[in-house]
Amino acid sequence: MSYDRINAYQIMWLFVFFDLPVMSKKERKAASGFRKDLMKDGFCMMQFSVYTRNCASRESADVHVKRVKGMVPDKGQVSIMLITDKQYGDIINFWGRKTDPLEPGPKQLELF
């Protein structure tokens, strides 16, 4: 009996990028529904219009790609990118620093 070892090249990450119109109430509802459907399918928000999901294999990723395809609203653009776990590990994230001066702290009353 042979076992396929799961390694960083078999595990996949799915990225869903989307730009959906939100000008009308109907469009906002469709965009909100799309985001909720992504989260029900196990996706997590990475940025406002970027959601990610880990999949154990390419076959599993293909199943989720088909699900996302079925969720796409009538208007807007949705793109999907698959990368390996190894590639995902090479992502470099930067967070901005707050550059506004901090508000002064409360003044203490000194008695002596």
Residue 110 belongs to a domain:
no
Residue 19 belongs to a domain:
yes
How many structural domains comprise the chain?
Answer: 1
Distance CA 53, CA 89 (A): 14
Residue 26 belongs to a domain:
yes
Q: What is the pLDDT of residue 3?
A: 47
Contact 60, 68 (CB under 8 A): no
Residue 22 belongs to a domain:
yes
| CATH at residue 62 | 3.30.70.240
Distance CA 37, CA 20 (A): 14
Residue positions counted in the chain: 112
Structural domain boundaries, residue 19: 12-87
Q: Which residues contact 74 (CB under 8 A, 6 or more apart)?
A: 30
Task: Render each residue's pLDDT in the chain as its tens digit; 112 residues.
Answer: 444 555 666 899 999 999 999 999 999 999 999 999 999 999 999 999 999 999 999 999 999 999 999 999 999 999 999 999 999 999 988 877 766 665 665 555 555 4
Residue 47 belongs to a domain:
yes
Count of other CB atoms within 10 angstroms of residue 36: 11
Residue 58 belongs to a domain:
yes
Residue 41 belongs to a domain:
yes
pTM of the model: 0.77
Q: What is the pLDDT of residue 60?
A: 94
Contact 66, 55 (CB under 8 A): no
Q: Encode burial over 70-100: b for 16+ CB neighbours within 10 A, e otherwise.
A: ebbbeebebeeeebbbeeeeeeeeeeeeeee
